């Protein structure tokens, strides 16, 4: 296969001139510096578009197909400890539970190489540098940058493996408080809809039959004028799951400019990880639940809405 190539550092547009090939093989043929597994990962993460659409590694590339490839810059391999104020809800020799503020990214990545939760945690607990992933030490689950609330962090590999196992076995209890737009009719319910990468917007997720299984249960706490205060219990842990699922049923989160629209009432999406429960490592003999109150911005927004 030959191509017309217009590249700008990490971005390239490839136009297939002949033959038929799998998308991952096609990309790898023109980026020999990348392994085929890395190409497949980029495709799954939405960094590769086939004729302007998200695709699968096995999707066929035909003559005339246009393939856009973006290879994001890798985060720095050197993680710097940076002192920042953190609210630690619980800590022992194996774990930390932190009440993450909104606006704080969990770990370094493209666009935010430092001043993340990981950088702050390394200053607070240098021992977690050896726990779990090299680039994301201690991180076993994540919260969106603008989602506030509880996140568990492993200080040891034993704790990292323990909490990771509990998450995969769906033994970790998560409760989110959210304000959604509109009036949710049912007192309680669930949204069982697979979630995958948005077909056109690589930074967004969407309900898609080809996505991964996703289940969110919820119950109504209070109905407000034009809005509903709910508790959400994600059974699975997909990216943006609560936000995508409520948008899917016609009730996007208040202030969610990605899946709904921005609001003058609150400067971010109204979503807070209020409760988190799991068995404490290393022995997993004790079940503990932790709570974090609504932060000031969400409390003020709720009061404004009459809650």
pLDDT tens-digit series, residues 170-180: 999 999 999 99
Residue 293's SS3 state is coil
Name the nearest CA neighbour of 148 among 28, 23, 1, 294: 294
Give the per-residue pLDDT at 229.
98
Return the sign of the alpha-carbon dihedral for residues 30, 36, 41, 44.
positive
Give me the average pLDDT of each 10-residue run along the chain (307 residues): 40 78 89 85 89 89 89 70 95 97 90 88 91 86 96 94 94 98 97 91 86 96 97 96 98 97 97 98 94 98 93
Instruction: Tabulate helix, strand, coil % of the chain (nearest 5).
Output: 20, 35, 45
- Our answer to whether residue 144 is catalytic in this structure is yes
Q: Would you list the DSSP string of 170-238?
A: T--EEEEEEEEES---SSEEEEE--EEE-SS-TT-EEE-TTSB--EEEEEEEEEETTEEEEEEEESS--
pLDDT score at 73:
66
State residue 75's pLDDT score: 53
**Domains in the chain, CATH or no CATH each:** 3-70 (3.10.290.10), 75-169 (3.30.2350.10), 170-307 (3.30.2350.10)
Q: What is the pLDDT of residue 124?
A: 94
Element (H, E) at 39: helix 36-44
Annotated catalytic residue: which of 24, 99, 144, 146? 144
Interaxial angle between packed helices 23-30 and 36-44, expressed in degrees from 0 to 180 and rounded to the nearest 10 = 120
Q: Specify the pLDDT at position 77.
A: 59
Beta-bridge mates of residue 15: 4, 66
Assess contact for 148 and 299: CB atoms under 8 A: no
Closest to 187 (Cα-Cα) out of 222, 214, 234:
222
**Whole-angstrom Cα distance, residue 119 to residue 123?**
7
Residue 10 is predicted with a pLDDT of 61
Coil, helix or strand for 30? helix
Cα dihedral sign for 102, 104, 106, 109? positive
- Beta-bridge partner residues of 281: none
CB neighbour burial string for 150-166, b if at least 16 within 10 angstroms, e if fewer: bbbbbbbebbbbbbeeb
- Residue 250 confidence (pLDDT): 98
Residue 205 neighbours by CB under 8 Å, 6+ apart: 195, 196, 197, 198, 211, 238, 239, 240, 241, 244
């Amino acid at each position: 296969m030959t191509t017309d190539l217009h590249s700008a550092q990490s971005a390239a547009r490839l136009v297939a001139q002949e033959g038929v090939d799998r998308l991952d093989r096609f990309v790898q043929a023109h980026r020999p510096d990348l392994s085929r597994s890395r190409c497949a990962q980029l495709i799954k993460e939405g960094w590769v578009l086939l004729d302007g659409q998200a695709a699968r590694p096995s999707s066929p590339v035909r003559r005339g197909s246009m393939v856009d490839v973006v290879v994001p810059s890798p985060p720095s391999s050197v993680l710097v400890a940076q002192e920042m104020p953190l609210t630690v809800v619980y800590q022992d020799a194996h774990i930390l539970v932190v009440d993450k503020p909104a606006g704080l990214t969990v770990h370094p990545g493209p666009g935010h190489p430092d001043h993340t939760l990981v950088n702050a945690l390394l200053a607070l607990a240098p021992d977690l540098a050896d726990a779990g992933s090299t680039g994301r030490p201690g991180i076993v689950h994540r919260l969106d940058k603008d989602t506030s609330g509880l996140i568990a962090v492993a200080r040891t590999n034993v704790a990292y493996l323990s909490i990771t196992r509990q998450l995969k076995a769906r033994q970790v209890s998560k409760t989110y408080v959210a304000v959604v737009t509109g009036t949710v009719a049912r007192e309680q319910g669930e949204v069982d809809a697979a979630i995958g990468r948005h077909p056109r917007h690589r930074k967004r997720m969407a309900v898609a039959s080809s996505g991964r299984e996703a289940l969110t249960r919820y119950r109504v706490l209070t109905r407000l004028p034009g809005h509903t205060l709910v508790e959400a219990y994600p059974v699975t842990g997909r990216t943006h799951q609560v936000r995508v699922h409520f948008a899917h049923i016609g009730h996007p989160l208040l202030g969610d400019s990605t899946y709904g629209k921005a609001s003058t009432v609150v400067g971010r999406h109204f979503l807070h990880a209020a409760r988190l429960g799991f068995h404490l490592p290393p022995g997993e003999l004790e079940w503990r639940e932790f709570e974090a109150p609504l932060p000031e911005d969400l409390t003020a927004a709720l009061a404004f809405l009459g809650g």
